[in-house]
Structure 1
């Protein structure tokens, strides 16, 4: 929970999902963010001054992960681990950085930027959890709390509820078996374990018939070959459409493909869009 929202002229405080209490003499206005966090904050009414990528990202902003960042003209600085204090100061201008917003999967470390780099910039680093220890609703709520502490007015909760209701209804009418995966070339594929992904876990709660890849190594993915994936006989394949993933090398006979972003921005708007897209896929007449 946040400590205090503060005001633009007063003290600011926030406790992130590592349990780290962060404070500043005034409410931060210039936010540098990991792409996923930045896209969510933008949806929630906070425009980052710049965003950076993860170790999976290249020198150009992945449009699948970008949300509304590119349209809003938010600069992309490249992968976070390649950045230096000098480059950030050069690209972010004389105003500097008041806050770094990242995500965490383990509740201990920021995912895409070294904390020492934020310390060198003199900016507190907020890391919000996107791992499976929280529900999707809780993750979205935490980003809403951070945006609120930064002065944002509110979020599109009604739209999210409508999208969930429509998806629940579509799932109730559908018998399709759904498999989420990330392609890794002709010899390898990563099959998502639904319970390890908050968004997939929510889909299952709403009645989507997600396939579990079964036992084997890997907490989030079962890494296997395409023959194994085909043997699961899904009717609908949610394929990782991020730039670091490869398109499906093999498609089960009769199966329908629809893109899936495992890093959907944790905002009500972005989650609603992803649910609406899946609703359309479940109701497609050729599936």
Structure 2
């Protein structure tokens, strides 16, 4: 997923800078309001008594009461919002808004105008703004063990020194695992998992999954999960991405790249070699900073791919939000694309 955010497809690259100065004075002077001046507190439901949660680093976080000021990676925030956590989310980091101020697709249904954005791009994390939010808890994904997604290495110690953190494993496991964990985390924060919105989303997800299973069972369509940048074409490994692992469990046949780059998330190919693998359907990374079909018309090898010639390309949300509401539409879109595709490879 190399793109304008300089975010490696592997989700493992060196995190960019995000320093801050004068944190001690800032924390002392930040007062009772957040960076936007609002006294935002509360959440899905205020819970009395102590709060504990053990994250996927096996770190147990204990507090005297349920955190009411949460800052989260945008995918984490969007997933928690789907499960019913709302007012507690006071800040986000990662691709939250576009240049025109509209929500990035990774924000899902989260009302982005109600949160403070600490940085939209890889390596951007405004530590001063973070401190001013008086955070009680930081939440993010963990695609590789110990690697806190979108938390820059060079300012990590400052960031983690300001509040407790929760990391949810989001790579090398089936997508069902992080969905379950975000549900558990949301419930601990006061969300009602029996709320109509959540129950209906889960039912939609389960129906979509069963439809994909039936579709895949009778299909000979081979799918290639991929991402495009100006210089390279990336073929993703279906054995490490959580969504691809789950889709494979449902019976979808993916192209398996043979010469994986370090970390195992993908094989990077020069555009001259972009036709190395045959596929009937391209599952193309559709995040806002990756190249899309309209951007790739000048690439001769792209235009010669059988799936491209047949117009068999569908968007892939390669950083899915791990909730039933977030995942169901992704499953439905892949199912329809497979149903509409014909064998071309």
Superposition TM-score, scaled by structure 2 size: 0.72
Residue 270 of structure 2: aligned partner: 225
Query: What secondary structure sits across from 1:38 in the alignment?
Result: helix
1:152-167 aligned at under 5 Å gives the runs: 152-154=191-193, 155=198, 156-167=201-212
Residue 136 of structure 1: aligned partner: 175
Residue 234 of structure 1: aligned partner: 279
Equivalent pair of 1:237/1:255 in contact (CA under 8 Å): no
1:253-268 aligned at under 5 Å gives the runs: 253=306, 254-268=310-324
Residue 53 of structure 1: aligned partner: 94
Match among 120, 125, 128 for residue 86 of structure 1: 128
Q: 1:77 aligned to 2:118?
A: yes
Q: 1:279 aligned to 2:319?
A: no
Residue deviations 1:125-176, cap 9 Å, x none?
11111110x3211111111111111011114432221110011122223221
Match among 217, 223, 227 for residue 182 of structure 1: 227
Residue 216 of structure 2: aligned partner: 171
> Cα gap change, 1:286/1:217 in structure 2, threshold over 3 Å: closer, same or farther?
closer
How far the C-alpha of 1:84 sits from its partner, in A, is: 3.7
Distance in 1, matches of 2:64 and 2:106, equals 32
Match among 303, 325, 338 for residue 269 of structure 1: 325
Equivalent pair of 2:224/2:254 in contact (CA under 8 Å): yes
1:191-202 aligned at under 5 Å gives the runs: 191-202=235-246
Distance in 1, matches of 2:102 and 2:324, equals 22
Equivalent pair of 1:182/1:239 in contact (CA under 8 Å): yes
Match among 82, 87, 101 for residue 43 of structure 1: 82
Distance in 2, matches of 1:36 and 1:162, equals 23
> Cα gap change, 1:61/1:102 in structure 2, threshold over 3 Å: closer, same or farther?
farther
How far the C-alpha of 1:282 sits from its partner, in A, is: 1.3
Query: What secondary structure sits across from 1:128 in the alignment?
Result: strand
Whose Rg is larger? 2
Give the alignment's Cα RMSD to 1 decimal.
2.6
How far the C-alpha of 1:215 sits from its partner, in A, is: 2.5
How far the C-alpha of 1:49 sits from its partner, in A, is: 1.6
> Cα gap change, 1:45/1:24 in structure 2, threshold over 3 Å: closer, same or farther?
same
Equivalent pair of 2:280/2:342 in contact (CA under 8 Å): no
Equivalent pair of 1:23/1:124 in contact (CA under 8 Å): no
**Structure 2: gaps (5+ residues):** 1-44, 297-301
Superposition TM-score, scaled by structure 1 size: 0.86
**Worse-superposed segment, 38-47 or 171-180:** 171-180
Distance in 2, matches of 1:32 and 1:26, equals 17
Number of aligned residues: 274
Residue 10 of structure 1: aligned partner: 49
